[in-house]
């Protein structure tokens, strides 16, 4: 499908989709692409990136968190699935001498969104173009997008709160500093309604790259699965610009409280799993693949 942005904003829905609807949505989308249990192969991507607000008094995760995960991915220990996962360093805040399983791209280093725009406009657009390039050879296959990085939880919340006018406070913050952070956040004003202005302010570069991957994937017929903070933020940007893309994006897991609960309710989103997986648990890729094979074998939900 060709994505063309509407002139108005995405509709603000209030009903919640129940599990059978999600089951049937996935089944129908797989059947439209002639995907069977025998032919099912995920094209899976892990993007690493640090946020500028990491290592501040607000972030729950220091930047060493990302470093440890990159090294774990490079040693082949991050995922339990037998399928290959393509790993990319988009904006990790350090350089590596040599990596075998993680490709270095380094779009840029995100800044602290409390001090100004997290992203530079030309690098934001370059990240989107890079994302489109990464998925351009992958027609028809289901694509699994996930991410990891210090500060990505807080930046995801901040971006979605701004983009969807959520009223809940930012919660993924050091408890003692939560009130101060939210007070500083409330001072931020974004005059330009375009979703890229919100993305530019809050980041990160891996989120921008994932936006490009989602847009290109949907346009060329891929069914897109998103898991992880930056992947959710990227999907939020895409759905604000292209609400008609909703049937082609499956949320693997998303929080059901705070800012993300408001986002879920506005867009009537249902996810495969009810809780986001800790990174140390190797994500939901293998479990999602198993569920899709069950859906294909069982048929539509009745």
Strand blocks (E) in 54-203: 85-91, 102-104, 143-148
CA dist 31 and 10 (Å) reads: 27
Residue 84 has pLDDT above 80, yes or no: yes
Q: What is the DSSP letter of 175?
A: G
Task: For tokens 């840029």, name the residue.
Answer: 108
**Average pLDDT value for residue range 167-178:** 94
**pLDDT band for position 257 (cuts 50, 70, 90):** confident
Of 256 and 248, more confident: 248
Exposure b/e, 117-154, CB count within 10 A at least 16 = b = bbbbeebbebbbebbbebbeebeebbbbbbbbbbbbbb
Residue 17 has pLDDT above 80, yes or no: no
pLDDT at 279: 54
19-294 is classed CATH 3.40.50.10210: yes
CA dist 41 and 49 (Å) reads: 26
pLDDT at 299: 84
Residue 19 has pLDDT above 80, yes or no: no
pLDDT at 18: 45
In sequence order, which residues have a C-beta less than 8 Å from that of residue 218 and are 6 or more positions away?
A: 1, 3, 224, 238, 242, 245, 248, 249
**Average pLDDT value for residue range 244-272:** 93
CA dist 266 and 287 (Å) reads: 27
Contact 146, 285 (CB under 8 A): yes
pLDDT at 251: 94
Structure tokens at 177: 């500093």
At 103-161, the pLDDT tens digits run 999 999 999 999 999 999 999 999 999 999 999 999 888 999 999 999 999 999 999 99
pTM for this predicted structure: 0.92
pLDDT at 272: 87
At 25-47, the pLDDT tens digits run 999 999 999 999 889 989 999 99
pLDDT at 277: 66
pLDDT at 134: 97
pLDDT at 302: 65
CA dist 229 and 206 (Å) reads: 10
Domain ranges of the chain: 19-294
CA dist 112 and 248 (Å) reads: 32
- Please report, rounded to a whole number, the percentage of residues in the chain having pLDDT higher than 90: 68
pLDDT at 215: 97
Task: For tokens 């060329």, name the residue.
Answer: 220
In sequence order, which residues have a C-beta less than 8 Å from that of residue 225 and are 6 or more positions away?
A: 42, 142, 143, 144, 145, 250, 252, 288
Summary mean pLDDT of the chain: 88
pLDDT at 2: 53
Count Cβ atoms within 10 A of the Cβ of residue 288 and give its class: 0-12 exposed, 13-18 middle, 19 or more buried: buried
What sections of 136-220 are H helices per DSSP? 152-163, 178-185, 195-202, 205-219
**Average pLDDT value for residue range 52-77:** 89
Residue 4 has pLDDT above 70, yes or no: no
**pLDDT band for position 211 (cuts 50, 70, 90):** very high
pLDDT at 3: 52
Contact 21, 136 (CB under 8 A): no
Question: In whole angstroms, how far apart are CA 285 and each of 20, 131, 147, 209, 281?
Answer: 21, 20, 12, 20, 11
């Amino acid at each position: 499908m060709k994505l063309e942005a509407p002139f108005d904003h995405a509709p603000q829905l209030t009903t919640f989709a129940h599990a059978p609807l999600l089951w049937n949505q996935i089944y129908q989308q797989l059947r439209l692409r002639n995907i069977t249990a025998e032919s099912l192969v995920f094209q899976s991507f892990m993007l690493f990136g640090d946020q500028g607000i990491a290592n501040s008094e607000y972030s729950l995760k220091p930047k060493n968190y990302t470093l440890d995960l990159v090294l774990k991915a490079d040693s082949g220990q991050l995922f339990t699935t037998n399928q290959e996962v393509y790993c990319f360093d988009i904006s990790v805040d350090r350089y590596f001498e040599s990596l075998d399983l993680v490709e270095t791209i380094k779009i840029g280093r995100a800044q602290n969104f409390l001090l100004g725009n997290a992203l530079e406009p030309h690098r934001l657009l370059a990240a989107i173009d890079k994302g489109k390039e990464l998925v351009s050879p992958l027609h028809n296959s289901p694509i699994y997008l996930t991410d990891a990085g210090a500060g990505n939880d807080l930046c995801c919340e901040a971006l979605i709160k701004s983009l969807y006018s959520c009223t809940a406070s930012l919660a993924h913050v050091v408890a003692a500093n939560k009130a101060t952070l939210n007070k500083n956040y409330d001072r931020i004003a974004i005059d330009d309604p375009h979703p890229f202005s919100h993305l530019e302010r809050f980041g990160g570069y891996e989120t921008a790259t994932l936006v490009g991957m989602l847009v290109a994937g949907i346009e060329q017929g891929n069914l897109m699965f998103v898991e992880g903070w930056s992947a959710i933020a990227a999907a939020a940007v895409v759905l604000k610009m292209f609400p008609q893309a909703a049937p082609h994006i499956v949320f693997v897991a998303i929080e059901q409280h705070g800012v993300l609960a408001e986002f879920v309710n506005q867009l009537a989103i249902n996810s495969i799993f009810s809780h986001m997986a800790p990174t140390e648990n190797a994500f939901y890729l293998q479990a999602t693949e198993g569920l899709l094979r069950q859906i294909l074998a069982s048929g539509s939900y009745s």
